[in-house]
Amino acid sequence: MIRRALLLYLGLFALIVAVGFAMGAPFTVRLLVEAAAYALIALGLNIQWGFGGLFNFGIMGFMMIGGFAAVFMAMPVSAPFWDSDGPWMLGKALLAAGAGALVILGANRLHRIGFPKPLQRTLQVIAWIAAYIFFRTQIDPAIAVIESREIGWVGGLGLPVWLGWVLGGLLAAGVAWLIGKACLGLRSDYLAIATIGIAEIIFALLKNMDWLTRGTLTVSPVPWPVPLPQQYQAWGSTIDESFIYARAGYLLLVLAILGAVFFLIQRAYGSPWGRMMRAIRDNHIAADAMGKDVRARQLQLFVLGSALMGIGGSILISFAQIYDPSSYSTVNHTFIIWVMVIVGGAGNNLGALLGAFLIYIVWILSEPVSQWLFTTISGWTEAIGWGAIPDITSRSVQMRVFVLGLVIVLALRFAPRGLIPEIGAGRRPQDQPKQESPDEAVQ
Amino acid sequence: MSEFVFFINNVIVSGLVAGSIYALGAVGVTLIFGILRFAHFAHGDMMTLGAFITLVLSWVLAGMGVSSGLPLAYFVVPLAVAITIVAALGLDRLFYAPLRAKGAKPVTLLIASIGVTMMLQGLIRLLFGTGTYSLFDTVPKVIHRIPVEGSTRDITFTQPQAIGVIVTIIAVVALHLFLKRSRNGKAMRAVADNPDLAQVSGINIRKIVRLTWIIGAGLACLAGTFLALDVTVKPDLAFNILLPIFAAAIVGGVGQVYGAIVAGYLIGFAEVLAVFNWGVLLRPFRDSLPEWVPAQLAIVPTEYKVTVAFVILVVTLLLRPTGIFRGASST
């Protein structure tokens, strides 16, 4: 097993070197930075799916939250906003939301003081409606004020961007806690639908809350925690060199984070805590009977994994320097991570890491390769008189979605446990022949 | 009166159209969920595929020199349905059947359906680019107007909307007769209820699986074409309405065809009612209302329409995990 992993990693290294020679160093370093950020997210999903068997299809949402956190923390302070009524009105809206939450929580506990169930249900509904209307009466005017021409949006806090990465992790963890509280009891496919829905809602919110994120107007430039290429140019490097140095600096930082996270979750995986998690994943009823708090442990995994997704999302945004909420899509930000973990080997951190780098390289390289392929075929069709293929460039971009889909179905069929399977787990429940028992549908 | 007509146009007509599309999609999802036991995420793209097949066939027809006062798409729908069914059976044979044969768990099939989604999306974009196409290239979209006495507005709906709703009703009735009266239909319901019992009573499961794909893909093609006729043909046509469709399937009770239809319309109407500006209905009484009543009184802003289906889904899962019609449990 170790030899297999070693060989695969050697192959990956050779692939990266080959890409470096073919596409040039600045391109390759950029690729590696992004792949490392995706690897962080893939490790997050590996915690949720590989360790815990939790189905999270809302990765895009957590990445968007992370990106927003980087923007909010690091963009310069907007003086017009802070001089206006905006902060005060937003504060009132926040207080209204808090008051509403208290009312709802209170209504949820009415049965404790002897309210009959039907009455409590009615009061609960009324509490939700009242809280929603009250919140809207406060937030709507605040938004109108902030979105006026003179202010535009709330701006940032002007703090170092790495604080934004921390905030990204914390925000994603908080949202994951709320989602987990509500949804983790669901069977896996329902959980998938619920989380994909939540990701869609986060997408709609961040895209349309112009006062908070500038929405489709996009925010740029998001700062870097390390010197930018322009800085190196000012220090006397050539343009090519400056990109290599600056991106290499960024890469080192991301790799340091990735290394630390990998070390910690690898330790956690082997610890009693990790064994307990796998026990819960493989048979939660037995684990429950052994006295493990299944729901609480699953919530822990969900929050931990989502925090990594938030951090990865904010690293990607500050590297790209532009935050455009409408650029996120379920395929490019949720499904790709799933492909990484499934192909690499769910439940094995080394596998998830390998899968992340490999799939990201395949994803990025599909475009130039298929462009080359199309150009060649186009040459043939022209030679035999059928005319050239139109729009080669835009079509090549789409090729990668197809390639990724093909990779995952092939992996499921021929290597369902991934390139580097989980060690010592024997047969995972999802590989075992389905035992159609009457209580399957009830589980 | 004008305000009331506005309400009919924006709620009744739009709700019927959206509900029909959701219902057609949700029936397929719920059947696949009920009989093959996995959430078929590629269903939205199957709808898109159906719409694109209709588009290509109408191009072929136009290329053969056929012209008509009606959009050519109407005439090719039966063939498009047939091709979509063949495509779905092919996808099943290539990607799902081998996994089922290995005895893979439903989650593995779910992940495979994600792969199929990506392949379909990639393929459609590869062939057609990311642009939008119209099925009304040669003829304009006919708009029906019914004048209402005492109103400055007419009740308006387009021809494809009317035909689409009628076709949906026909399809639903036909499906009802099939499930209630025919031997295969009864077998399908039996498998959805209890696969083991169905198998030991001698029902051919493979045939039922094939039938499921035929019905699901056929209805998906209808829904996709309906949606494409109502708006435009584009690569992300139906991927975006996957959530309301799944919500309808779950709210209706997994495996319950009637539940899916009812819930499809329920969600369609809930969406349009939620984004409808109720302030319009108050306009005639504007002068007698206090100052503080705002002119915009929509329950949710239009941008957040996506939240409606989700909220209905979550409330259903919390209060009645088996759905309205008592399908499989969600916990």
CA-based nearest residue in chain A for residue B319:
A121
Contacts of A183 in chain B (CB under 8 A): 314
Q: Chain A: give the shortest CA distance to residue B40, in Å.
A: 10
Closest to A52 (Cα-Cα) out of A270, A299, A344, A291: A299
Domain range enclosing B58: 2-319
Q: Which of A187, A391, A434 sits opposite B331 (nearest CB)?
A: A187
- Reported ipTM: the value is 0.90
Query: Residue B263 in contact with residue B201, Cβ under 8 Å?
Result: no
Quick one: A130 exposed, middle or buried, by C-beta within 10 A (0-12, 13-18, 19+)?
Answer: middle
Chain B interface, best mutation among A294, A398, A408, by max B CB count within 10 A: A398
**Nearest Cβ partner of A412 from B112, B242, B314?**
B112
The model carries a pTM of 0.91
Three-state secondary structure call for residue B254 = strand
In the stretch 273-292 of chain A, residues with CB closer than 8 A to chain B read none
Identify whether B331 is part of a domain.
Answer: no
Residue B118: closest CA among chain A residues belongs to which residue?
A405
Distance from CA of A163 to the nearest CA of B (A): 30
CB of A376 less than 8 A from some CB of B: no
Cα(B176)–Cα(B36) distance, integer angstroms? 20
Q: Contact B114/A436, CB-based, under 8 Å? A: no
Task: Answer whether residue B330 is part of any domain.
Answer: no
Identify the segments of chain A with pLDDT beneath 70: 424-443
Helix axes B183-193, B14-35, angle to 10 degrees: 70
pLDDT for the residue B195: 83
> Looking at residue B251, which CATH number applies to its domain?
1.10.3470
In a domain, B325, yes or no: no
CB contact under 8 A, A434 and B329: no
State the pLDDT at residue B64.
87
DSSP assignment string, B56-120: HHHHHHHHTT---SS-THHHHHHHHHHHHHHHHHHHIIIIIHHHHHTT--HHHHHHHHHHHHHHH
Residue A235 Cα, gap to closest chain B Cα (Å): 43
Q: B 218-277 residues with CB below 8 A of A?
A: 239, 242-243, 246-247, 250
Which residues contact residue B228 at a Cβ distance below 8 angstroms, ignoring those fewer than 6 apart?
A: B51, B54, B55, B73, B135, B237
B326 in a domain, yes or no? no
Q: Using CB atoms, which residue from A405, A412, A416 is nearest to B118? A: A405
Look up tokens 């990779």; give the residue: A407
Smallest CA–CA distance from B243 into chain A, residue: A197
Whether residue B324 is contained in a domain is answered as: no
Please report, in tens digits, the pLDDT of each residue of chain B (331 residues total).
788 888 888 899 999 999 999 999 999 999 999 899 899 999 999 999 999 999 999 999 988 888 888 888 889 999 999 999 999 999 999 999 999 988 888 888 999 999 999 999 999 988 888 888 998 877 888 888 888 887 788 888 999 999 999 999 999 999 999 998 999 999 998 888 888 898 899 999 899 999 999 999 999 999 999 999 998 999 888 888 999 999 999 999 888 888 999 999 999 999 999 998 888 888 777 777 777 777 777 888 888 888 899 889 888 887 887 888 766 665 5
Total domains present in chain B: 1
**Is B329 a domain residue?**
no
Ordered domains of chain A (ranges, CATH): 2-78+153-423 (1.10.3470)
Taking the Cβ of residue B301 and every Cβ of chain A, the question of whether any pair is shorter than 8 Å is answered with yes
- Evaluate whether residue B327 is within a structural domain: no
Q: Residue A238 and residue B175: Cα distance in Å, rounded?
A: 70
The dihedrals phi and psi of A318, each to the nearest 5 degrees, come to -70, -25
**End-to-end Cα distance, chain B:** 48
Closest CA of chain A from B115, distance in Å: 4
